Chains A and B, each alone.
Chain A
Amino acid sequence: MNEQDARLAVHTAIGQVAPDVDLAGLDEESRLRQDLELDSLDFLRLLEAIDESTGVDIPERDYTAVTTVKGLIDYLASRG
Chain B
Amino acid sequence: MGEFRLPSLGADLKNGKLVEWLVEPGDHVSPGDSVAVVETDMTTLDVETQQEGQVTELLVDIGTTVPVGTPMVRILGTEEETVQPDAASVPPSEAQDRVSSLRRAVGSLMSRSKKSIPHYYLSTTLDLRAALEWMQLVNNQRPVASRLVPSALLLKATALAAREVPEVNGFYTDGIFRPSSSVHLGVAVALRHGGLVSPAIHNADTLALDVLMQKLRDLVSRARAGRLQRAEMADPTITVMNLGDLGVETVFGVIYPPQVAMVGLGKVVEQPWAHEGLLGVRPAVAATLSADHRVSDGLRGGRFLARIDELLQKPEEL
Binary interface encoding of chain A residues 58-77 relative to chain B, with 1 for a CB under 8 A from any of its CBs, else 0: 11110000000000000000
Task: Please report the number of residue pairs spanning A and B whose Cβ atoms sit closer than 8 angstroms.
Answer: 44
Residues of chain A within 8 A (CB-CB) of B143 are 51, 57
B125 to chain A, nearest CB (A): 20
Provide the bound-state CA to CA distance between A22 and B277, in Å: 52
B247:A20 contact, CB within 8 angstroms: no
Provide the bound-state CA to CA distance between A40 and B139, in Å: 14
| Count of B interface residues, CB-CB < 8 Å | 20
Indicate whether B217 reaches chain A with its CB closer than 8 angstroms.
Answer: yes
B185 to chain A, nearest CB (A): 15
Provide the bound-state CA to CA distance between A44 and B245, in Å: 13
B192 in complex: contacting residue of A18, A44, A45, A58, CB < 8 Å: A18
A20:B144 contact, CB within 8 angstroms: no
Indicate whether A41 reaches chain B with its CB closer than 8 angstroms.
Answer: yes
A34:B247 contact, CB within 8 angstroms: yes
Most buried by A among B136, B143, B192, B216: B192
A-side residues, CB < 8 A to B, are 18, 20, 33-34, 37-41, 44-45, 47-48, 51, 57-61
B-side residues, CB < 8 A to A, are 136, 139-140, 143-145, 147, 149-151, 190, 192-193, 216-217, 220-221, 245-247
- 12 contacting pairs across A/B (C-beta < 8 A): A37-B192, A40-B245, A41-B220, A44-B144, A44-B147, A47-B144, A51-B145, A57-B143, A57-B144, A59-B140, A60-B136, A60-B147
